[in-house]
Structure 1
């Protein structure tokens, strides 16, 4: 799942790069910037940010969580890691998945369309619940590893009983 997410993010970033280059080229060389380039760049940046945050969390590379948990003694690391995973899962489930699907469905019902791309905005907002599903999946995986002793709270290293 992580490899698939990485491929999607690389493709989205490549599309963002090409879109931005085309926007600059069409503006400064052709003298008339394409209308859709800026709007597409914004939507791609949102998707990359949300999915990238999920990927970073899945790889246990989330800087804030890793930093604070790493400062504790090993016994407290496990307790803190479980509490953090439960908090992240709660936020991901309620705000990202539930709130995101509510946002998407209400926006699709309203038939709100982006001005330049002509895309229903609800589809652009799908990044919110999709990233929430990734966060939840990684939280469940991390909790299973923590409860079974397969990994420590930091960077997936083996747990040592100290």
Structure 2
């Protein structure tokens, strides 16, 4: 299976479908007030680098880097269920790390949810460690916060 990772528009029909599926999953798993995903319009902001993973002509995964003044934040990581287990999220993460270094970002942070074991395992494989809530986040019993410094 050949997968390419590239800059993509959150408004592309395949990507929009992925994002809406991700948003629905978060709504199904967690109370609405604890969800912090970016809207499709917010993902189109100039401070967001949005990536899509494509197999042939179909996007099957996505992830984003939101550039903050002191760090980068990972957002909207999602792989379509039938494509999971093929290393797609790792390819997206590698490209996020490369982009972060190009932008001279020194640290990355993320917020994810309890029970998302595959996501947690991915972040741990890429040397993310648990940290305190950051930015607009607060402890809510449903969120896990992680960070990683970049060399």
TM-score range, shorter chain: under 0.3
Structure (1 or 2) with the larger CA radius of gyration: 1
Structure ranking higher in helix proportion: 1
Structure ranking higher in strand proportion: 2
Q: TM-score, normalised by structure 1?
A: 0.24
Q: TM-score, normalised by structure 2?
A: 0.25
